[in-house]
Structure 1
Amino acid sequence: MRNTRRAAVAAALALVTLTSCAHSGADRVFPGAAAVLNGSTPAARGDVPSIDWTIAQGEPMTLDWLHSANYPSNTILANMCESLYRLNPDFSVSPGLAEKTERPDPSTLVYTVRDGATFWDGNPVTAEDVAFSLGRNLDEKAGSFWVGAFANVASIDATGPRQVTVKFTKPDTMFDPSMAAGPGIVVEKAHFRQAGKGYGTPDGGLMCSGPFKFDHWERGNYLRMTRNDAYWDPKHRAHAEKFTFKFITDPITTANALTAGELDGVYDAPLEGLVQLGKSSEVDMTYGSSMQMIGLVVGNPTSLLATDPKLRDALRLSIDYQGIVDVILKGAGEPLKTITPPATWGTGPAADVYRKAYDALPAPRYDLDAARATAKEAGNPGRPIVIAVPAEQLSAVQIVSAIQSGAQRAGIDVEIKAMPLNSYGELFSDPKAREGIDAFFTINYPDFPEPLQMYQQMALPGRFNNYNGYDNPAVTEALDAATAEPDPVHRAELVAKAQEQITADAPWIPVATPYVRLAQNSRLTGAPATFVYLYYPWAADIGAK
């Protein structure tokens, strides 16, 4: 494994060295900004017996929704387990298992459970099921990954056969929109109790209400879903009788399988295979809007980048943002001013506020002369800046290698620490794992289109994603006020104020937002092209052309 990681880093360094000085765009495969979709590929016209799909990030560890805040689990769960609201391909939000929502006072929400919604076993979805599913997030022993969404929740109770009441310790405008994502997932209480510790495993399975049913999971090989022919929402009835997930992570193997017709599709199509996929008659490539942010997280409170703002500014000035987009992302993305891409603005009236605030921010600046001068002002830190990266993800290594190359040209010493995925994953949850790490690579995103959610988690003291102890009183005041503000436009104005300061302080360093890269077999259509596949039942939409 160690030799493999060294080889990956060496290959990435070779690529960056060859291309960083002149990115002519010869390898760009993206057809142009006009082709970026804010919705789905053309609707399917017919059913198909089966579809084979792969998950680029590999096999999930579990399908327990409390522990599924990641790509593999969420990409699969979105098609089987439903939330109170539904996030749509155009980033709008519509009713899901909750057909009505009321807010009788600023600290209370009342959800009416959809009449006629049933689980796969035919039992109705009840208020008891909803209260149990949401309430499990409050159990500290359960270790929910979604605990941040429930930070201000005082109680969750079934207050009628189809009524669930949520009470808050203080007004929290972010809880309700989170019900369109993982925090709002509803499962059958009785089945969960029966499955016990086996819930969400190959043996224990699931019991949900979505358009596909859990069928079989063979660890290390595949997971198969079958169509729920009794689905409560006929408009989203699945077109495929069977839908099988493979767990092929090697980019070249994935590209070859797609062009050979052995796989029918993948989200996050491998960058290394985009040229091959774009030329294949077996594959339709589609690019869509994404809420993802590629960047660096300042690693801990004692990091060189946390303690020396000048050094942090020098590193930012040395990054060739457009070069990374052109060469490594093959043009399928754009440099990013903030950690919240334009797709996170949503579709409501607040979007205009965010757009104006974003336009007013300075573009990411690549200026080696200024970087050298700023690094000289910072002085010699006495050791390299250590940046961690997942060794198995070649494009991540390439991006960090490009950052290292630019830094070195500006006189900044950067050391890349390539880590196996398991160890790299610990950086996001274990402070001890981040010791000695000045920054680490991330592809991050909010769970729903709302910049406030992202800023809450990374900029407020004590929050889960505040890895470096960032604490700016003006930012905290603005974000706390925004959290309690019911008017979306005024809330956006408060968030924009905080965003301006966070962007200047740079506790995270945004580099680019990638476009969604959807590869779909040419006989199929219907898949959403946008970054909704973690929570929207996307597989149900795919069928015959």
Structure 2
Amino acid sequence: MKKVIALCLALVLCTAPLTGCGGGTSTTPQPSTSGNIPTPSTSVEGDTLNVGLYAEIISMDSAFAYDFSTNPVVIQVTESLLYYDENDQLQNGLTESWEEVDPLTYVYNVRNDVTFSDGTPMTMEDVLFSLDRYRDPSVASYLAWMYDNVDSIKQTGDWQFTVKLKQADALWKHTFATTGGHIHSKAFVESAGDKYGTPEGGVLGTGPYTFVKWDVGSQIVLDYNENYWNKETEGEPDIKHIVFQVIPEDTTRVMASTSGQIDLNLSTPVEMLGDVESSQYVSLTKIASAGLEFLSFNCQKAPFDDVNVRKAIAYAIDAGTLQENIVKDFGTMTNYLPVPESLFLFEKDTWLKYEESCLKYEYSLEKAKESLAASEYPNGFDCAITVDEKSITNSVALILQQAVAQIGINATIEKVSNDEVVSLQFGSGIDANGVRPYDIAIFEWSSDFPDPSGVLTPLYFSTNRGEGGSNSSAYVNAQVDALLLEQAASSDEKERTELMLQALDIINDEVPYYIWTHQNWLFTVNNRITAGVDNLTGTWFWNLYVKNIKIG
């Protein structure tokens, strides 16, 4: 996951009145560069939760909530039609029921008792407006790709709407459990205009918390929604105030966590796990994810449009040494596939057999040199590696720099902010010819849904390579496209698996990405938190609900 896609991927995976303003003056958030821990605006009391984010959020608007810093903030304020429970099963959220009538038709019955935090009722007009907004090209939502296979969304009852798909899609049912299924107030969005979701414009939702302010580069403050529509059923939460603190520097964030200044650190660097283990205030929660970290080769740009160049670099990397010395508990040793074992959720034996027999780019300087010699650049070349501010990705960039130097490639490292790397991954800076600006970049992805195609379609489908798209290698292969579309349209798990493995045969041979690990999420949790974090799964970025966190 992160953000996403373009045009026509057909079958993807597919309060008191709001204050309405924030303390920042810029609508383009930038992370803090000082390394100092922001001072919360709310005193640290028993009912205040302080959360450390490794990057600035993109927006408070769920249309742009598609990364691991933005999502945990946004999902406290706006709510989705469906949600994942602790077993990753779909449950009703703002709906009271839903049904797959046939492979092309889904009917949703919406709750008629929901209110926004300002007390105004949520109407069907708000629901349809919100869903149409994700699909609107002028909005350019990062979740728009999830709707590419939708033919129509129409109201079919007083509190009912029906979705018609263009073609059968086994994964459509998951869409409304993501931020692509969050509902907004039409009146508030239209009143705020372009400032909606910004520090100045704020956001209005139906969720258990309300937006108070967003100090760009410092913190986002939320308070409990005293008008919460589901208050009587759920009861009031232990947490009444949330302060999300933006702390990009790993050491500073860990120090804030181990000293008790923040309660929850959502990104713990593996090289500092010793500090976590020796602290009296915190413990480590490790969550096996459906995510991966990878090198993205810009296949539109020379020399990385040459498959032999990509193979040469893949062979030059010693994945075993990288895992042992750098990755450690951060991730699981790569199987050279974009699909981690956590997504072998059906036809598992077939997936495991393929994992053993598939093409692997195991470390071999000899093969690396042979591949480069077979390319159009046998004498090497200069290039740049774009990387974010995280310590582990910078360590990987250094290892990569040293590895490719052995075969005559001179790589420099270009460090950019975490939120800039997110923007680049989804097409920021594409030139007039549609070419992305980087050579090699280190990105991450996590499957949006509990399914292998939650990785394959976003990263490899060709229409996802443009602005807003997650195909950051700009990879194009018509046969892969056809196979991915065919598998998405099938409801037969055996057939889907066979089609995906056929696509992987091609993908592995053309190596548009080099997968260097499958992630584990490492959360540092203050000991006063007794529940609400330890049961999270790989889909935590959709359902880390602070209302469920209990304080001892």
Question: Do Structure 1 and Structure 2 share a fold, with TM-score over 0.5?
Answer: yes
Would the alpha carbon gap of residues 333 and 82 (structure 1) be closer, same or farther in structure 2, given more than 3 Å must change?
A: same
The alpha-carbon deviation at position 354 of structure 1 amounts to 4.3
CA distance 1:504–1:355, change in 2 (3 Å): same
- Could you list the per-position Cα deviations for residues 115-150 of structure 1 after superposition, in whole angstroms to 9, with x for gaps in the alignment? 544432344443322211111122211111112111
TM-score normalised over the length of structure 1: 0.83
What is the Cα-based RMSD across aligned positions, in Å? 2.7
Q: 1:506 Cα deviation (Å)?
A: 1.3
Aligned equivalent of 1:154, options 130, 151, 156: 151
- After TM superposition, the structure 1 stretch with the greater mean CA deviation from structure 2, 374-383 or 261-270, is 374-383
Shift of 1:192: 2.2
State the alpha-carbon separation in 1 of the partners of residues 376 and 278 from structure 2.
50
Q: What is aligned with 2:445? A: 444
Instruction: After TM superposition, give the deviation of residue 224 of structure 1 in Å.
Output: 1.7
State the distance in 1 between where 2:493 and 2:121 align: 34
Matched, 1:418 2:423: no
The structure 1 segments of at least 4 consecutive aligned residues displaced by more than 6 Å after TM superposition are none
Shift of 1:76: 0.6
Counterpart Cα distance in 2 of 1:190 and 1:492: 45
Change (3 A) 1:343 1:86: farther
Q: For structure 1, which segment, 293-302 or 530-539, has the greater mean C-alpha deviation from structure 2 after superposition?
A: 530-539
Q: Unpaired runs of 5+ in structure 1?
A: 1-46
Report the counterpart of residue 160 of structure 2 in structure 1: 163
The one of 321, 324, 336 equivalent to 1:323 is 321
Q: Which amino acid aligns with 1:148?
A: W
2:299 aligns to what?
Answer: 300
8 Å Cα contact 1:300/1:435 also seen in 2 = no
The match for 2:541 among 528, 531, 534 is 534
Shift of 1:250: 1.2
Shift in Å, 1:257: 1.4
Question: Is the deviation greater in 263-272 or in 367-376?
Answer: 367-376
* 2:287 is the counterpart of 1:277: no
CA offsets, 1:302-332, max 9 Å, x none?
332322x233222112212222222222333
Which position in structure 2 is the counterpart of 1:525?
A: 530
Moved more, 365-374 or 179-188: 365-374
Q: 1:93 to 1:503 in 2, by over 3 A?
A: farther
**CA distance in 2: counterparts of 1:358 and 1:228, whole angstroms:** 48
Q: How many Å apart are 1:435 and its aligned residue?
A: 5.7
Name the CA shift for 1:120/1:403 in 2 (closer, same or farther; >3 Å): same
Instruction: Note if contact 1:48-1:543 (Cα within 8 Å) is conserved in structure 2.
Output: no
Q: 1:242 to 1:469 in 2, by over 3 A?
A: closer
Percent identity over paired residues: 23
CA contact (8 A) 2:386 2:440 kept: no
Quickly say closer, same or farther: Cα 1:197–1:467, change in 2 above 3 A. closer
Superposed CA deviations along residues 21-74 of structure 1, whole A, max 9, x for unmatched, are: xxxxxxxxxxxxxxxxxxxxxxxxxx94111111112x2242111122222221
Q: 1:134 to 1:344 in 2, by over 3 A?
A: farther
Deviates more, 1:503-512 or 1:527-536: 527-536
Do the aligned partners of residues 398 and 315 (structure 1) sit closer, same or farther apart at CA in structure 2, a change above 3 Å counting?
same
Instruction: Report the Cα offset of residue 283 of structure 1.
Output: 1.2
| Secondary structure, counterpart of 1:86 in structure 2 | strand
- Residue identity opposite 2:479 in structure 1: A
The residue number in structure 2 matching 1:29 is none
Q: CA deviation at 1:204?
A: 2.9
Task: For 1:354 and 1:489, locate their aligned partners in 2 and report how far apart those are by CA, in whole Å.
Answer: 11
1:330–1:457 distance in 2 versus 1, CA, 3 Å: closer
Alpha carbons of 1:252 and 1:209: their partners in 2 closer, same or farther (altered >3 Å)? same
What aligned pairs does 1:457-468 form with structure 2 within 5 A after superposition?
A: 457-463=458-464, 464-468=469-473
SS at match of 1:172: coil
User: In the alignment, what sits opposite 1:209?
Assistant: 206
CA apart distance, 1:241: 1.5
Task: Look up the SS of the partner of 1:365 in the other structure.
Answer: coil
Aligned to 2:221: 224
The residue that corresponds to 1:476 in the other structure is 481
Q: Conserved in 2, the CA contact under 8 Å of 1:126 and 1:161?
A: no
Conservation of the 8 A alpha-carbon contact between 1:180 and 1:448: no
**Match of 1:335, as an amino acid?**
M
Q: Which has the higher helix share?
A: 1
Aligned partner of 2:448: which letter?
D
Structure 2: distance between partners of 1:473 and 1:117: 45
What is the 5 A alignment of 1:53-452? 53-57=51-55, 59-114=56-111, 116-228=113-225, 230-232=228-230, 234-235=233-234, 238-307=237-306, 309-336=307-334, 337-345=336-344, 349=346, 354-361=351-358, 365-378=362-375, 380-384=377-381, 386-390=383-387, 392-409=389-406, 411-421=407-417, 424=421, 425-426=423-424, 428-429=426-427, 430-432=429-431, 437-452=438-453
Cα pair distance change 1:544/1:359, threshold 3 Å: farther
Shift of 1:100: 2.3
Instruction: Look up the SS of the partner of 2:222 in the other structure.
Output: strand
CA distance in 2, matches of 1:268, 1:436: 27
Deviations 1:426-448 (A, max 9, x none): 35313339667432111122222
Distance 1:414 1:544, change over 3 A: same
Say which SS state the counterpart of residue 547 (structure 2) adopts: helix
Q: After TM superposition, give the deviation of residue 95 of structure 1 in Å.
A: 2.7
Aligned length: 494
Alpha-carbon spacing, 1:387–1:350, altered in 2? closer, same or farther (3 Å): farther
Q: For residues 218 and 468 of structure 1, do their structure 2 counterparts lie closer, same or farther at Cα, with a shift above 3 Å needed?
A: closer
Equivalent residue letter for 2:548:
D
Tell me: CA distance 1:456–1:400, structure 2 relative to 1, closer, same or farther (3 Å). Answer: same
Helix, strand or coil at the partner of 2:134? helix
- Secondary structure of the equivalent of 1:392? coil
Distance in 2, matches of 1:497 and 1:236, equals 50
Structure 1 residues 73 and 406, CA gap change in structure 2 (3 angstroms): same
The CA deviation at 1:161 is 2.3
Mapped to 2, the partners of 1:174 and 1:276 lie a distance apart of: 41
Distance between the aligned counterparts of 2:449 and 2:415, measured in 1? Answer: 29
Equivalent residue number for residue 37 of structure 2: none
Whether the aligned pair in 2 keeps the contact of 1:111 and 1:164 (CA below 8 Å) is yes
Structure 1 residue 350, shift from structure 2 partner: 5.6
